[in-house]
Every structure is written in structure tokens, then in C-alpha cells.
């Protein structure tokens, strides 16, 4: 299945059944028919490199992901699944407020500090190496097991004039780490915390039954099941954890560039935070909104607009002069992050191909 391919890096998507008129305490279990044929091959896809840390671990099988059983709090509504999620909700308030809630299983155990810094970056907080950032997690109940709750809030407004808050409950169950996340405007998420905790207490795992997952896209071309048309000179490589796709572009004398793609729900942390994260990878100082505006270019993509940035600096990992071209595309309540990074001559040569690659995207194939 497409979802399982994404789990080798990370991601997948399918519409969950939308149950009209859900009662306050109605319990739901979702079933997926057993596949009759092997999954089709998909062009691989956190970035966090683009928005999340790089972590490698084995890909689980569909049967290793149990179903979720839970009670839906009053005022919450189920909504279509986006990438990576096996459960997705909107927590709604009486004055039109809303917060996004998701449940995501990943083959990750450990790396807590990297995860904490990923979540901090999503609310524009600086990275930390303080071990207390992990130790300060609140012990909570997730079903009959003990999990941990992380709580982050932006220092500056991110949602209109409001600060953004993220609650992330984390539990290791079997060989998987489960992440239950609520994101939204600070005061509303705070007001929903008790409902979030009650939801977590209601969670149980139905073992030996496949979870709700995404169907693979239909094979329609030589780029079977691919979201993109990939340039022939790009070499597909197994994507790092949290990436949807990754490619290597070789040059002379060992020089190279890499392309990677990641996707997140909603705004994915916002334009400024992601651009500044990319700048940090080149050893460049963070920009303010006013400084970013003249450097960000808008360009057309099917179905809307995208934002392009282009910076040169020094790779913070290797110390090698490096150029980075990045693009951020919003489609269907998702944000897609594209990055071309590496040797300056290769990046300059491949920039047009990179733009064509982005414009070739068929996001319907991601569903």
C-alpha cells in the first residue's frame, strides 16, 4: 500500500469514513479489506529535513499497525485523513474556533530530543540541547498504558494575532511509537486539553487487525503511481525517515546535489519558520518577516501558487559551500516542501528541472 511505502520514509492518505451525527460517547473501530495483490511500486518520497528530523528504522508491515478504538469527545468531528494519519479530527468551539487533532504511528523508538526540537520548530521556538526539555513531559494515561505529554507554545503570533500551541502525547506500543497531536490557537487548545486527555484515556489498540490505511494510486503511466514526473538524470534513493521522496543528482569529481520532498498538514509551521530552518542548514542567520518578503518569489503551480527561495552558504554538517533552492506549495489543506541542495554548479544546472518537477505534481495521486 502507498501508506506502507511512506512508512519507510513516512506518509500516506485516505479519506476516513465521515460519520454524521456522532454522539458524544460513540466508540468507533475502522476496518480495511485485505489486499488481493502486492502493492504497486511508487517513486519514494521531514524533511523534517524539510520539516522533521532524519531517523532511520525498519518499515512495518500493514499487519503490524493495530486498529484504534476510542471515544470521540463532544464537539469533535472526524475529518478526512491526510498524510501519515490513521485518525484525524477537528475539535470545534462555540465561537468558530478549531484545533487539529491527529493520531500517527511511526517506527520510531527513542530520539526524543530530535522530536522535541522538531515540535519546537513548528511553533518557531529555537532548538535546545537541554535534557530537561524531554524530562519535563507530563505523565499521562493513553488507554491502560502510561504515555508522556509535551506542550509547546509560540512566543509570537502565528495564527492571525494569536499564538499557536501544540500538545503531543507520545506512547511506545509494541514496536511502534504513537503520536497523538493537537494543534491550534493557544487559548483554544488550552481549553480543549481536558477533552484531549479524556480522548487519550479512551484509546485502545485492536491487535492483529489492519489499521485504516491509504489505497495506492491508480497506475496510469510509465511513472506508475508517482506524484511527479521525475527527470531522467535524477537517481531515486530510499527516502530518509519523514521524507516522501528523495533523489540524488551526481556531478563531476564527487560533487552532487540532492532533492527531497516532505509534506505536513495545514501550514506545516509557516513559511518563515521553514525558510529559517533551511537557512540554518547553510549557516545563515534567521530572517524577519520584513527581510524575507523581498527574497521570496511567487510562482505558478497547477491549482495555485508556490513560494520559492534561493540561498547560498556553507553546509552546517560538512563545511562545504552549498546552494539551496526551496519551494513551499499549499494544496488541499496540506503543505509540500521541496528542497534542492548541494554543489552550486549542479544546483544552478538543475534549477529549471527542479521547477518542472514541482509543477508536474499530481496531488490527487497522493490521496
pTM (global) more than 0.85: no
Q: pLDDT of 110-129, one tens digit each?
A: 678 888 988 888 888 888 88
Looking at the fold, whether 180 and 279 belong to one and the same domain comes out as: no
Q: pLDDT of 307-333, one tens digit each?
A: 999 999 999 888 999 999 999 998 877
Looking at the fold, whether 37 and 183 belong to one and the same domain comes out as: no
The DSSP bridge pattern shows strands 321-331 and 334-342 to be antiparallel
Q: Residue 22: which pLDDT band, with cuts at 50, 70 and 90?
A: very low
Last residue of a domain, one of 209, 244, 277: 209
For the chain, how many structural domains are there in total? 2
Looking at the fold, whether 114 and 235 belong to one and the same domain comes out as: no
266 or 35: which carries more pLDDT confidence? 266
Mean pLDDT over residues 85-107, rounded? 88
Looking at the fold, whether 247 and 335 belong to one and the same domain comes out as: yes
Q: What is the CATH number of the domain that holds 191?
A: 3.40.1000.10
Burial class (CB in 10 A: 0-12, 13-18, 19+), 65: buried
Q: pLDDT of 215-256, one tens digit each?
A: 333 333 333 336 899 998 999 888 776 788 899 999 888 899
19, part of any domain: no
Domain span at 95? 66-209
Q: pLDDT of 155-197, one tens digit each?
A: 988 877 889 999 999 998 887 889 999 999 999 999 999 999 9
Q: Report the percent of the chain where pLDDT is more than 90.
A: 44
pLDDT for position 227: 81
Q: What is the CATH number of the domain that holds 32?
A: 2.60.120.1690
pLDDT for position 64: 59
Most confident of 17-31, 152-166, 274-288: 274-288
pLDDT for position 300: 92
Instruction: Please check whether residue 62 is in contact with residue 213, taking contact to mean a CB–CB distance below 8 angstroms.
Output: yes
What lies within 8 Å, CB to CB, of 121 at 6+ separation is: 48, 51, 127, 269, 273, 277
Q: Residue 354: which pLDDT band, with cuts at 50, 70 and 90?
A: very high
- pLDDT of 35 above 80: no
Instruction: Please check whether residue 40 is in contact with residue 224, taking contact to mean a CB–CB distance below 8 angstroms.
Output: yes
Last residue of a domain, one of 189, 209, 229: 209
Looking at the fold, whether 184 and 257 belong to one and the same domain comes out as: no
Task: Compute, in degrees rounded to 10, the torsion defined by CA atoms 117, 108, 279, 120.
Answer: -20
Instruction: Please check whether residue 324 is in contact with residue 281, taking contact to mean a CB–CB distance below 8 angstroms.
Output: yes
Choice among 69-73, 77-81, 229-233 with the minimum mean pLDDT = 77-81
Which segments within 251-348 are labelled E, that is strand? 256-265, 297-301, 304-314, 321-331, 334-342
Amino acid at each position: 500500500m502507498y501508506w506502507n511505502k511512506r512508512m519507510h520514509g513516512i506518509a500516506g492518505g485516505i479519506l476516513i469514513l465521515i460519520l454524521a451525527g456522532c454522539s458524544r460517547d460513540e466508540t468507533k473501530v475502522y476496518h480495511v479489506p485485505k489486499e488481493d495483490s502486492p502493492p504497486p511500486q511508487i517513486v519514494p518520497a521531514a524533511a523534517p529535513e524539510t520539516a522533521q528530523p532524519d531517523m532511520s528504522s525498519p518499515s512495518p508491515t500493514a499487519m503490524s499497525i493495530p486498529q484504534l478504538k476510542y471515544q470521540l469527545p463532544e464537539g469533535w468531528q472526524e475529518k478526512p485523513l491526510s498524510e501519515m494519519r490513521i485518525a484525524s479530527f477537528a475539535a470545534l468551539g462555540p465561537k468558530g474556533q478549531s484545533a487539529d487533532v491527529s493520531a500517527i504511528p511511526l517506527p520510531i523508538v527513542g530520539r526524543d530530543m530530535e522530536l522535541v526540537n522538531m515540535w519546537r520548530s513548528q511553533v518557531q521556538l529555537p532548538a535546545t540541547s537541554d535534557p530537561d526539555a524531554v524530562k519535563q513531559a507530563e505523565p499521562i494515561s493513553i488507554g491502560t498504558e502510561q504515555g508522556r505529554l509535551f506542550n509547546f507554545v509560540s512566543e509570537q503570533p502565528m495564527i492571525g494575532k494569536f499564538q499557536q500551541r501544540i500538545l503531543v502525547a507520545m506512547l511506545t506500543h509494541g514496536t511502534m511509537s504513537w503520536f497523538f497531536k493537537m494543534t491550534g490557537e493557544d487559548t483554544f487548545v488550552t481549553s480543549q486539553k481536558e477533552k484531549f486527555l479524556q480522548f487519550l484515556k479512551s484509546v485502545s489498540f485492536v491487535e492483529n487487525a489492519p489499521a485504516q490505511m491509504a489505497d495506492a494510486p491508480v497506475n496510469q503511466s510509465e511513472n506508475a503511481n508517482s506524484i511527479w514526473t521525475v527527470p531522467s538524470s535524477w537517481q531515486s534513493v530510499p527516502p530518509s525517515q519523514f521524507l516522501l521522496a528523495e533523489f540524488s543528482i551526481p556531478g563531476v569529481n564527487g560533487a552532487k546535489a540532492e532533492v527531497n520532498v516532505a509534506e505536513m498538514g495545514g501550514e506545516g509551521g509557516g513559511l518563515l519558520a521553514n525558510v529559517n530552518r533551511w537557512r540554518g542548514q547553510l549557516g545563515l542567520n534567521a530572517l524577519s518577516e520584513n527581510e524575507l518578503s523581498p527574497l521570496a518569489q511567487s510562482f505558478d503551480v497547477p491549482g495555485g501558487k508556490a513560494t520559492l527561495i534561493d540561498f547560498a552558504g556553507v553546509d552546517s554538517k560538512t563545511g562545504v559551500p552549498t546552494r539551496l533552492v526551496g519551494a513551499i506549495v499549499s494544496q488541499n489543506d496540506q503543505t509540500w516542501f521541496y528542497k534542492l541542495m548541494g554543489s552550486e554548479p549542479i544546483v544552478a544546472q538543475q534549477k529549471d528541472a527542479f521547477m518542472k518537477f514541482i509543477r508536474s505534481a499530481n496531488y490527487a495521486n497522493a490521496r
